[in-house]
Amino acid sequence: MIVVTTPTGQIGREVVARLLDARENSVPVRVIVRDPAALAPQVRERVEVVQGSHADPAVLKEACQGADRVFWLVPPNPRAESVEGHFRAFTDALIEVTGAQGVERVVAVSTLGRGVARNAGPISASLAMDEAIAATGVHYRAVCPPSLMENELRQIASIRDAGVFSAPLVPDRVLRLCATRDVAAVAARLLLDDSWSGQEDVAVVGPDDLTPEGMAAVLSEVLDRPVRAELVTTAELKARVIRFGASQAWAQSLADMADAQNAQGFYGSAQPTTPDLAPTTFRQWCEEVFKPAALRR
């Protein structure tokens, strides 16, 4: 039995789809979801559903009954009063269940930055999650992408209507990228493979060598309109996400993450690409995902 968390999220729903479509998969799939109605009908027909949050030990215990593999992802909560506390609440539930339920393998979405990132908000919290899970002794793979291309969907209106692509990063410094579909593909392959053991990070880094200015140039060409990169300060970033309803703690964590990326470079050019695991280029993603989304709105 494979248990999948966040089955309606950007990565989780793709993991479920890949598991269900895999010809070699004869292992049943069970999902944990707050609202089963949010699942696509064709998914609901083919999976077992446990309703609730995977931060709830009772829900997680029910879902992991008889399961030997778990896909794990801590969903963001911009209203959380503590980023560390948010990650810890989910992780503690998994640790409690892993020891009692006989789960053998956990595949989680984490991040690049191990051994480098310090005081980096959600990145530091995610890396601490890895350490806590690994300490249980479970066989563990942390799937580690850099910045996700899908983050740029939050800027559709600004990019399409004003021609402005903003980033709290140095405009001429390389920012490594990855598409969520490539993260999901790696996670699904690991879940379908019951031969691996031990604990490892799996870097999933797209083939591009782009700066924010380079990303703006690609967007200009794909959208056929001028797009420029604009540096925003971390103070401006914090104020912006607070205006959209984030807590002070969550907003500060994002500012800390941006400051850490600028100072420590853990999503930068020093990180090797892994095109065999993450083949999607930023241009391909813009043509197949960003441009159609912009035209629909």
CATH number, position 128? 3.40.50.720
Contact 19, 2 (CB under 8 A): yes
pLDDT digits 0-9 by tens, 165-185: 998 888 788 999 999 999 999
* Residue located via tokens 């380079």: 214
C-beta neighbour count of 233 within 10 angstroms: 12
pLDDT of residue 297: 63
Residue 48 has pLDDT above 90, yes or no: yes
On whether residue 97 sits in a domain, the answer given is: yes
On whether residue 269 sits in a domain, the answer given is: no
Rounded to 5°, angle at Cα 227 from 216 and 286: 55
On whether residue 271 sits in a domain, the answer given is: no
Range of the domain at 37: 2-148+178-203
On whether residue 182 sits in a domain, the answer given is: yes
Residue 24 has pLDDT above 80, yes or no: no
The residues, any chain, with a CB within 8 Å of residue 73's CB and separated by 6 or more, are: 5, 6, 9, 11, 12, 108, 109
Domains of the chain: total: 1
Nearest to 80 by CA among 246, 235, 254: 246
Residue 117 has pLDDT above 90, yes or no: no
Residue 136 has pLDDT above 70, yes or no: yes
Residue 21 has pLDDT above 70, yes or no: yes
pLDDT of residue 296: 80
On whether residue 237 sits in a domain, the answer given is: no
Give burial (CB, 10 Å; 0-12/13-18/19+) of 16: buried
On whether residue 208 sits in a domain, the answer given is: no
On whether residue 22 sits in a domain, the answer given is: yes
On whether residue 122 sits in a domain, the answer given is: yes
Tokens linked to 265: 């470079």
